[in-house]
Structure 1
Amino acid sequence: MPVQRSELQAYLAELLDVDAFKDYCPNGLQVEGCDVIERVVTGVTASQRLIEEAIAHNAQAIIVHHGYFWKGESPSLTGIRKTRVATLLEHDISLFAYHLPLDAHEQFGNNVQLARQMGWTIEGNLTSSIALMGRLDGGETGGSLQRKLSDALDFDVLHVGEEADDIETIAWCTGAAQGELEKAIEADVDAFVSGEISEPTVHLAQESGVHYYAAGHHATERGGVKALGDHLVHQFGIDVQFIDLPIPV
């Protein structure tokens, strides 16, 4: 059953409360395509590969977590940027992108979805952060948690810490959230999980004793947009296909 682009745009804006966020990019409709949408492709990032997948699936819209027009980027539509946008316009495909709203949402957010996937009990947010904190259901060690994350996310998770240490309390924030480690240290949790890691992160983890897990930016952020797409199937009766295009970070 088709849906008007404008109706889908308004519904997602309200559902994800986009006006509540000051973000690094525009949230919502970034590239306007045709008026009526029957098929949607979802994915983590609006790469050229994902656009080509949308074309192959005869989709009228793409919904992603990482779209375009990031703060600090050149505003010029040249090179790769031109090719991506030109392809969308040529095929009349709309691009919707939701960054922080899709990290923070209480039902469809990446952080909530990671907790559900791993069976973690959510107890609240880290102070002034969209990062979550909680407790593991069952005894874990530094090593066993690394293996469970790797298996669940199909990603070679990097672990900083002793394998034999007991892990009971945890905080997490998907994507490039290594900077939240200091808040996790202040919260006195046993472990912190994010997508990416940087050189200073290793020293902070080692010196604080908080176990750190770099579980992949892409790998930790598949859950939100996939859950959102599943919801849209039930809400509008449209065809939604999640396309996973893994990358090594």
Structure 2
Amino acid sequence: MAVSATKLEGALNQLLSAHKIKDYCPNGLQIEGKPQIQKVITGVTACQELIDIAIAKQADAILVHHGYFWKGEPEPLKGMKRARIAALLQHDINLFAYHLPLDVHPELGNNAQLAKLLGVTLRRGLEPWDPMSVAQVGKFDEPISPQQLTQRLQQALQRDPLWIDGNKETIRSVAICTGGGQSYIDLAASQGVDAFISGEISERTVYTAREMNIHYFSAGHHATERYGVQALGEWLAQQYALDVEYVEIDNPV
């Protein structure tokens, strides 16, 4: 069963409340391809390798978390950027991308999916003034040690997280912001949160964790953002009977 690209974009925009969220890129249909869609490839980032796989599998659309046209990037279609977009246009493949809307969705989002994997119940946004807060705060049912949280991250993400000791024996409350959310650690610490989980880490993050007594876990930008797009792909398959396939492109960062 095929569905029109226009209908699919409308459904995804509504589901993810894309129009309500200010972002660094356009969310939705970024590259227009064939009008009818049956085969969809999903992935974290619309890199050339993912595009090549989609072409080989004769996909009608690609759905990703990291698409194109970021604010501040060079505008000319040259080099790597030209090659990617040319391949999509040549093979008439639609490109759908949802950045922050996919991070914050309460059920299918990256934060929600990572929390589910770790056994965290999300309760509120870290930014109390923003109803669409990118970072979320939750709790474990029972306090755990930082060593136990490290093990859970290893098992869930299949990679070793970097743990910065926050000088607390146990963890009950935890803030989560997948991807490049390390700058939220100061806000989490000011609210008395026991631990913060994100994808990336900066040099200053180490000192904030140590001096403000909050454990910090850097678990990988790619690794922490694999699960939202997979959940969204499963939703598409169920709602529209589409052939949806997630493709993992290895990225150690």
The TM-score normalised by the length of structure 2 is 0.96
Q: How does 1:1-12 map to 2 (within 5 A)?
A: 1-12=1-12
Residue type at the aligned position of 2:144: E
Moved runs in structure 1, 4+ residues, more than 4 A? none
Is the deviation greater in 126-135 or in 214-223?
126-135
SS at match of 2:244: strand
Taking the aligned partners of 1:121 and 1:93, their CA distance within structure 2 comes to: 38
TM-aligned CA deviation for residue 138 of structure 1: 2.8
Q: Which residue of 1 aligns with 2:182?
A: 178
Tell whether 2:155 aligns with 1:151.
yes
Q: Which residue of 2 aligns with 1:76?
A: 76
> Residue deviations 1:19-42, cap 9 Å, x none?
101110000011110011110000
Q: Which residue of 2 aligns with 1:169?
A: 173
Q: Which residue of 2 aligns with 1:121?
A: 121
TM-aligned CA deviation for residue 137 of structure 1: 2.5
SS at match of 2:73: coil
TM-aligned CA deviation for residue 164 of structure 1: 7.7
Q: Which residue of 1 aligns with 2:51?
A: 51
Q: Which runs of 5+ in 1 are unaligned?
A: none
TM-aligned CA deviation for residue 139 of structure 1: 3.3
TM-aligned CA deviation for residue 207 of structure 1: 0.6
Taking the aligned partners of 1:140 and 1:163, their CA distance within structure 2 comes to: 14
Q: How does 1:1-249 map to 2 (within 5 A)?
A: 1-127=1-127, 128=130, 129-161=133-165, 165-249=169-253
Taking the aligned partners of 1:81 and 1:178, their CA distance within structure 2 comes to: 28
Taking the aligned partners of 1:124 and 1:246, their CA distance within structure 2 comes to: 32
SS at match of 1:87: helix
Give me the CA root mean square deviation. Answer: 1.2
> Residue deviations 1:192-243, cap 9 Å, x none?
0001001010110011110000011011111111000000001100100011
- Check whether the contact 1:226–1:242 (CA below 8 A) recurs between aligned residues: yes
Taking the aligned partners of 1:139 and 1:205, their CA distance within structure 2 comes to: 19
SS at match of 2:234: helix
- Check whether the contact 2:161–2:217 (CA below 8 A) recurs between aligned residues: yes
- Check whether the contact 1:142–1:162 (CA below 8 A) recurs between aligned residues: no
Is the deviation greater in 162-171 or in 140-149?
162-171
Q: Which runs of 5+ in 2 are unaligned?
A: none
- Check whether the contact 1:142–1:163 (CA below 8 A) recurs between aligned residues: no
- Check whether the contact 2:164–2:210 (CA below 8 A) recurs between aligned residues: yes
TM-aligned CA deviation for residue 121 of structure 1: 1.3
